[in-house]
C-alpha cells in the first residue's frame, strides 16, 4: 500500500458515529498525525493471526472482513472502523481484512493514539468495547 503525501484533513473524514461526541479540536489533535493509507481492490490491510498495532477508520471505499475465503464476517463502508479487537484484547487479529473498492482510503490510528483518545474520552472507550462485544457475539452466533 501507499502512504498518502497529504495528511487527512477534517474534510477528508466522513461522519464517524463512533466519534460524534468529540469536539472538533479533539479530532484535529488526535488524528492529524495519523497516516492516510490507500488500498486497491483486493489488497489486504492485514491478515488474521497477525499482531494488532493500529485501528482503522474507513474514509472512502469499502472492505470485507473474513476468517476463511468462504466465511465472510462483515462488509464495512465509509465511516465504519475495524481493528479494535486486537487492540482491546491483546489477542491476534481475529480476521483478515481486504479492500473491496478501487480506492479505499483508511485512516490508520496507532494503538498509542487510540489509548490516549480513550483515556481522554471515556465514552469512546465504552462505545468501542460495546462494538467489540456485539461483533464477537455476531461471530459466535453466525
Ligand atoms: P481485529 O481482531 O483487530 O482484526 C479483525 C477485525 O475485524 C476485528 O478486529 C474487528 O474490527 C473486525 N470484525 C470482526 N468481526 C466483525 C463483525 N462481525 N462485524 C464487523 N467487524 C468485525
pLDDT digits (tens, 9 = 90+) for 82-136: 999 999 999 999 999 999 999 999 999 999 999 999 999 999 999 999 999 999 9
Beta partners for residue 56, in sequence order: 82, 108
Nine-digit cell string for 107: 485512516
Residue to mutate (ligand 1; options 58, 63, 83, 129; most atoms within 8 A of CB) = 83
Q: How far is the CA of 16 from the centre of ligand 1 (A)?
A: 17
pLDDT of amino acid 53: 96
Architecture of domain 2-141: Sandwich (2.60)
Q: How far is the CA of 76 from the centre of ligand 1 (A)?
A: 10
pTM over 0.90: yes
Report the SS3 class of residue 39: strand
Distance between CA atoms of residues 57 and 79, nearest Å: 7
- Name the packing angle between helices 111-120 and 24-31 (round to 10°): 150
Q: Kindly state if the Cβ of 89 falls inside 6 Å of ligand 1.
A: no
Distance between CA atoms of residues 83 and 56, nearest Å: 6
Amino acid at each position: 500500500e501507499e502512504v498518502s503525501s497529504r495528511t487527512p484533513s477534517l474534510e477528508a473524514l466522513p461522519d464517524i458515529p463512533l466519534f460524534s461526541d468529540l469536539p472538533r479540536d479533539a479530532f484535529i489533535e488526535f488524528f492529524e498525525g495519523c497516516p492516510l493509507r490507500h488500498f486497491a481492490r483486493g489488497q489486504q490491510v492485514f491478515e488474521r493471526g497477525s499482531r494488532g498495532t493500529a485501528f482503522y477508520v474507513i474514509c472512502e471505499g469499502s472492505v470485507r472482513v473474513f476468517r476463511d475465503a468462504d466465511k465472510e464476517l462483515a462488509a464495512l463502508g465509509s465511516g465504519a472502523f475495524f481493528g479494535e479487537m486486537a487492540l482491546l484484547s491483546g489477542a491476534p487479529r481475529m480476521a483478515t481484512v481486504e479492500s473491496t473498492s478501487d480506492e479505499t482510503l483508511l485512516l490508520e490510528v496507532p494503538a498509542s493514539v487510540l489509548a490516549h483518545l480513550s483515556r481522554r474520552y471515556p465514552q469512546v472507550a465504552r462505545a468501542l468495547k460495546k462494538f467489540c462485544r456485539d461483533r464477537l457475539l455476531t461471530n459466535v452466533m453466525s
